[in-house]
Amino acid sequence: MKRAIYLQSDAKAAFWFLLPSMVGFVTFIALPVIGSLFLSLTEWNFLTGFDGIKFVGLQNFKTLLSFKDLWFTDSMRHSLLYTVVQVPLNLVLGLFVAVLIDRYVYGKKLFKVTVFIPYISSIVASAVVWMVVFQPSYGPVNNLLCAIGIENPPRWFVDAVWAFPTIILFQLWLGLGYTVIVFMSGLKSIPAELYETATTDGASELQKFFKITVPMISPTTFFLATMGIISSFKVFDSISVITGGGPGRATTVIAFYIYREAFKYYRMGTANAAAWIMFVIIFIVTMVQLKQQSKWVNYD
């Protein structure tokens, strides 16, 4: 009898402790997700109020997936290109810098703080600094290029050819610090005895890197790759501040397309349909990664 009373009391206590989180989940996650799915099946300008909602079924998805909307087509292409280029570069450069700092640099804490500063800095402030540095006419980068004899340096953010690569470079600089810090934490888990044994056997530094470091750091690499791919489809702030998706459609990505459709042209149905397409892509890529995880991640 007493045990039943105690269990009932524990259940009530657990319920009241979980209630704030449950309310928050329902209010800020579950209901918005359901609302977004409903709006993706409608045609609605929210300025007209709820009376203006018109149910159109899967028409928004059919229109987007027909790729007749050049803004959506270019947004998808740029998002995929950004993922394919930026994520591997971030991993390779991050691991290289992490190994460099961990093994060959004195004053590691200072260097760790230095590379981490861009990640914790305001994206808007960092974007403004890069806009000034890469300003075509009087920016220090182009002044330096002119000084060493390059007559027509790139126009960077205002050039349709160079704008997107420069955005990728900016995002790489912005997120490198986080990658380096996580990789350095992973390097601490590798037993020093492995390197000592390899040194005794006459292994070179390059052999130790590819035969010991890379396999042993693979769980960290998998985590960073997964999070990097998810984040790459959500890049928005820097593009909104620096280029506004331009010049033309040169730097528009899927997250910026969703914002543009929803808050510039008030096409909430199209915006939410695009958001769900982005979700499905991220979900499929993540599931594929998890499926392939055991083939290249070493947990020994």
- Token pair for residue 122? 């305001």
> Do the domain assignments include residue 92?
yes
- Rounded mean pLDDT for each run of 10 residues along the chain, 300 residues in total: 57 81 90 93 88 91 92 94 95 93 81 87 92 91 90 90 94 94 90 86 86 89 91 91 91 94 93 94 88 69
Position 43 in a domain = no
Residue 97 lies in a domain: yes
Q: Is residue 76 in some structural domain?
A: yes
Predicted local distance difference test score (pLDDT) of residue 152: 87
Contacts 24+ apart (CB under 8 A), 207-213: 209/99, 213/99, 213/187
247: preceding bond cis by omega (within 30 degrees): yes
Q: What pLDDT is stored for residue 1 in this prediction?
A: 52
Number of structural domains in the chain:
1
Residue 9 forms part of a structural domain:
no
Q: What is the CATH number of the domain that holds 291?
A: 1.10.3720.10
Helix H or strand E segment including 286: helix 268-296
**Torsion angle, CA of 20/21/27/32, rounded to 10 degrees?**
180
Element (H, E) at 295: helix 268-296
Q: For position 11, what pLDDT does the model report?
A: 72
The beta-carbon contacts of 30-37 under 8 Å, at least 24 apart in sequence, are 36/272, 36/275, 36/276, 37/272, 37/276
The pair of structure tokens assigned to 290 is 């998890």
List pLDDT tens digits, range 199-217. Answer: 888 888 888 888 888 888 9
Structural domain contains residue 141: yes
Domain span including residue 81 = 67-296
Residue 264 in domain? yes
204 within domain boundaries: yes
